[in-house]
Amino acid sequence: MNADVLREISAQAFKTILLASGPMLLVSLITGLLISIFQAVTQIQEFTLTFVPKIIAVFVCLFVMAPWLTKIMVDYTHDLITNIPNYVR
């Protein structure tokens, strides 16, 4: 295994990680922003108010995106396993 193969595997792994975690992070960011705006408008300064809606939003996003996320991870694993003979050379 040379440096180019390792670089390719690392890039593919990083891309898969970004694709898999991106939707949940985006939903969490948007939910936190909306709750922060709500807190600023109503002047409620409760720090724990953001946690429950964020957790619920991320779990809903995870539930909705689960088939797509599974497909991405299975495709990555399949490509990695099928290319093992090419990596060993």
Percent of the chain with pLDDT over 70: 100
> Residue-wise over 48-76: b if at least 16 C-beta within 10 A, else e?
eebeeebeebbeebeeebeeebeebeeeb
pLDDT tens digit sequence for 5-46: 889 999 999 999 999 999 999 999 999 999 999 988 988 888
Residues found in the chain: 89
- Could you tell me the pLDDT band of residue 3, with boundaries at 50, 70 and 90? confident
Instruction: Work out the pLDDT band at 2, boundaries 50, 70, 90.
Output: confident
| Residue 4 pLDDT grade (very low, low, confident, very high; cuts 50, 70, 90) | confident
